[in-house]
Structure 1
Amino acid sequence: MNVRHTDRTRRRARARSRSRIALAAVFAGSLVLTGCTIGSGGADDGQVAEAPAEPSAVIDVSVEDGSLDANPAEPVVLTARDGRFDSVVMRNPEGVQVQGEFNPDLTEWRTTEDLGYSREYTLESTATDDAGLVTRSTVTFSTVTPRVLTAAYLTTGQGATVGIGQPVAVMFDEPIADRRAAQDNIHIRTEPEVEGAFYWVSNQEVRWRPAEYWAPGTTIDVDVDIYGKDLGGGMYGQENVRSDFQIGDAVISRVDDSTKQIVVERNGEVIKTMPTSMGKADTPTPNGTYVIGEKLASMVMDSSTYGVPVDSPDGYRTPVQYATRMSYSGIFVHAAPWSVWAQGSQNVSHGCLNVTTADAKWFYDNAKRGDIFEVSGTVGPTLPGWDGLGDWNIPWETWKAGNADAGTA
């Protein structure tokens, strides 16, 4: 049986071989026929096969691959020409994805958050053209590394109501090398619109005010956009800050040395009169216009803070109540129960305006930052504008001309 099975196998193999030969002959004939039918254009005519099509989409990136000084505050923008984006993924060194968004037709993508200083980012994107061909792009770059960072502070808090004399005041925690660059990135909007100008009272503080006192009801919006900005010598802004505030009632206090009476007006109406004792002859209270600053329920006044030793004849270290600041140099309206006998008749202080405890508390409760206080008739000089709360003692033409390009304030 095994032999018969083998024979059948051989016969079947010979049959299959004959079939293959016949098929091969037919196939060869078809090749010949086909070759005759095509004519020119065949491989025998010397034609070279076409190369695969190249994608037509081009991806443009706003930062250069390998850049080491990209600005972290400027959006990274990708644009697809002759195609649409399929995906864009940007990651920081920790692999966290940076937020961004496409435009409606998927031809542009941009970051929607600031980047960090001195950080490396990788950007991978793909775009597809109308033929369905895909273009890929990978870009790696780093942001600028600052020599030092500076923080900015606004003295007027968000939503505050301040007096008619309050300037916009921006303080920095480092001396600014390029004051022009700093002030050019401070943006101020007022309603109604008011002409104003910047003036530097020191290399760490710049102020902006109008020519005249603010009108009550004016609103002011301030944006200090210093993040990503070089403020000179490789110093960059640490972060942006902003505030909006409004001008309240017009409160003006006046005192003339001839009367030694503080007269307080609100919107043109006298609301309070208080006897006072100002600076004695050798420590006179400066004349001029002051802007009310901070208020302290209690504090210790120390002569050593302005160079007079506590143990010297004119030295002191005295706790006081209800102190309302009038100048950076240390002029306050404050409670002075020890000088009630002289208030309204003699000047016995070291420069401050002494009043009774009750009057000091009233002034503390009713005065607000930015209110005006005018002092006249003393034997002292005029409070300098650079004192910090003497802004209105600088003539408008001088203030308007500015001093951003000066070496020092």
Structure 2
Amino acid sequence: MTSSPLRPRAIPSRVPSAARNSCRPVVTGSRRGRTVLASVGLVAVLGLTACGAGGGNDDAASSGASGSGTAGAQQDRPNPDATPTVKVAPAADAGMVNPADPVVVSTDAGELADVSVTATGSGTRAEGALNEDRTEWRSSAPLEFGETYTVAYTARNGSHTTADRTAFSTVDAAHEADVSFDVKDGQTYGVWQVVELTFSEPVTEKDAVEKAVTVDGAHEKGRFRWYSDRKLRFRPEKPWAPNSTVKVSANILGTDLGNGMIGNGNKTVSFKTGAEQRAYVDNDTKTLVAYVNGKKTGSWPVTLGNPEWPSTTGKKVILEQAASYEFKASSLHLEPGDPHYYPPFDATNVSRLTWSGEFIHQALPSAWPLLGVANVSHGCVGMPPEGAAYIFKTFRPGDMVEVVNTDYPQANPDDGYGDWNIPFEHYSDEDWHGNW
């Protein structure tokens, strides 16, 4: 198993917050990098405009119009000797154009001899094609953000020619928004893994975003839950099927997220699930019992949080693991002389259960005589060496650890993946509150 550094987070030193019930808090910091973008209104310009012809005799014709960008050549076609009128969308000099919207150039007479749409900055030419009768050209791929595009065209009808160029600009960088996932492509997780999407900008058009997210996997039902305007989670009604593949797609390119923010790209990730693995930690018996695919594979005595730092109850999903991790009492605002102070030490075979600092780990040798007898930790599940090694080597992120009978509430569901403590029928109700 490959281990990665665990991320610390600071927590308050007193209850009632579940964050304080930890062996080792997490220092304040961002779990993910986010692009901070300004939030201003988006001007969506979808009108079409006719562009003037070049100079000289019968070819010097121009007109202005707005419409859908489709040609009228097949219906009520003008006199075959008429000078072509060309319509372009987006309109000339339009700004803040959504890069996902197509560029459409059409003529009402004759045919389009040439069309080009070119980015001024990069020099990239937009992809596109003419229809069968060459009366309409339409782009076939999204444009670039923060670019100015020049549309050049030539239309001919008999001896008459209309040629001109217009320009427009797309949504700038200050109005882009992106998304990241909590799962990595190709990796294997436990069947209780929750899918989390984090947006770089606040989302107010939440229905549109949910429609843009698809989850394909071995599950029958699933629901979304927003924990903030930036954090969206998805969980199935029941755990993912063991040894299966889950594909998550966020097709937000061009999606209006609200407040003038536009999704700047689509992202897809696929992950695999392993065996169905879970552990039960019972404070009454002070034991941890492990199960793999429903079969009991081990039982060990444990110590839980002491009365001043009790362990939270409920279903908790392993977030990350490390072979070694440093614990410091100072991160709990404990100084030498405090009865709860402990010298810094490197915990062994660590599996994180909450972001605020509850872990499964190997207990210090001084606590071994108390395993199965008394609670002496700061909220963690302390185990004998062989038990902690088994959990670290066999279990993985996404596996379930359920703690019962501590007579203390659950951790907040977003302090880790406490989503499984929420009844499925209430999962999408952000106002529903459980035992936390």
Shorter-chain TM range is: 0.7 to 0.9
Maintained 8 Å contact 2:355/2:416: yes
3-state SS, counterpart of residue 369 of structure 1:
coil
Q: Give the corresponding residue for 1:172.
A: 199
Cα distance between partner residues in 1 of 2:329 and 2:109? 74
Cα distance between partner residues in 2 of 1:95 and 1:157? 32
Pairing 1:141–2:168 present: yes
Maintained 8 Å contact 2:177/2:263: yes
How does 1:273-288 map onto structure 2 within 5 Å? 273-288=299-314
Cα distance between partner residues in 1 of 2:159 and 2:326? 77
AA in 1 matched with 2:187: A
Cα distance between partner residues in 1 of 2:299 and 2:405? 18
Alignment partner of 1:389 out of 401, 417, 429:
417
3-state SS, counterpart of residue 427 of structure 2:
helix
Alignment partner of 1:335 out of 362, 367, 380:
362
Cα distance between partner residues in 1 of 2:325 and 2:370? 22
Cα distance between partner residues in 1 of 2:204 and 2:284? 46
How does 1:308-323 map onto structure 2 within 5 Å? 308-311=333-336, 312-316=338-342, 317-323=344-350
- Count of equivalent residues: 352
Pairing 1:262–2:288 present: yes
Cα distance between partner residues in 2 of 1:398 and 1:363? 31
Cα distance between partner residues in 2 of 1:310 and 1:119? 56
Cα distance between partner residues in 2 of 1:186 and 1:156? 18
Query: Deviations along 1:34-93, whole A, 9 cap, x unmatched?
Result: xxxxxxxxxxxxxxxx96775565544331111111012333233455544432222222
Alignment partner of 2:320 out of 280, 288, 294:
294
Alignment partner of 2:231 out of 205, 224, 228:
205
3-state SS, counterpart of residue 414 of structure 2:
helix
**Structure 1 alignment gaps of length 5 or more:** 1-49, 405-409
Q: Does the C-alpha gap of structure 1 residues 191 and 184 become closer, same or farther in structure 2, counting only changes over 3 Å?
A: closer
* Higher mean C-alpha deviation, range 80-89 or range 321-330: 80-89
> 1:310, CA displacement in angstroms?
4.9
- TM-score normalized by the length of structure 2: 0.72
3-state SS, counterpart of residue 257 of structure 2:
coil
3-state SS, counterpart of residue 370 of structure 2:
coil
Maintained 8 Å contact 1:55/1:135: no
Query: Deviations along 1:112-151, whole A, 9 cap, x unmatched?
Result: 443333321111122344x364432422001123546544
3-state SS, counterpart of residue 74 of structure 1:
coil
Q: Determine which structure has greater relative contact order: mean sequence separation of CA pairs < 8 Å that are 6+ residues apart, divided by chain length.
A: 2
Q: Does the C-alpha gap of structure 1 residues 127 and 170 become closer, same or farther in structure 2, counting only changes over 3 Å?
A: same
3-state SS, counterpart of residue 121 of structure 1:
strand
Maintained 8 Å contact 1:289/1:383: no
Cα distance between partner residues in 1 of 2:127 and 2:405? 63
AA in 2 matched with 1:318: F
How does 1:312-391 map onto structure 2 within 5 Å? 312-316=338-342, 317-338=344-365, 339-391=367-419
Q: Does the C-alpha gap of structure 1 residues 108 and 308 become closer, same or farther in structure 2, counting only changes over 3 Å?
A: farther
AA in 2 matched with 1:357: P
Q: Give the corresponding residue for 2:145.
A: 117
* Higher mean C-alpha deviation, range 55-64 or range 134-143: 55-64
* Higher mean C-alpha deviation, range 259-268 or range 105-114: 105-114
Q: Give the corresponding residue for 2:126.
A: 99
> 1:199, CA displacement in angstroms?
0.9
Alignment partner of 1:242 out of 253, 268, 271:
268
Maintained 8 Å contact 2:196/2:233: yes
Rg comparison, structure with higher value: 1
Bigger share in helix: 1
Cα distance between partner residues in 1 of 2:335 and 2:102? 56
Q: Does the C-alpha gap of structure 1 residues 205 and 135 become closer, same or farther in structure 2, counting only changes over 3 Å?
A: same
How does 1:177-188 map onto structure 2 within 5 Å? 177-178=203-204, 180=206, 183-184=209-210, 186-188=212-214
Pairing 1:158–2:167 present: no
Maintained 8 Å contact 1:58/1:135: yes
Maintained 8 Å contact 1:146/1:234: no
Cα distance between partner residues in 1 of 2:431 and 2:152? 47
> 1:173, CA displacement in angstroms?
4.5
Cα distance between partner residues in 1 of 2:118 and 2:300? 65
Maintained 8 Å contact 1:199/1:403: no
Query: Deviations along 1:341-386, whole A, 9 cap, x unmatched?
Result: 2222221110111113333232122112211111111122122223
Q: CA RMSD in A?
A: 3.0
- TM-score normalized by the length of structure 1: 0.76
Cα distance between partner residues in 1 of 2:246 and 2:411? 27
Q: Does the C-alpha gap of structure 1 residues 309 and 238 become closer, same or farther in structure 2, counting only changes over 3 Å?
A: farther
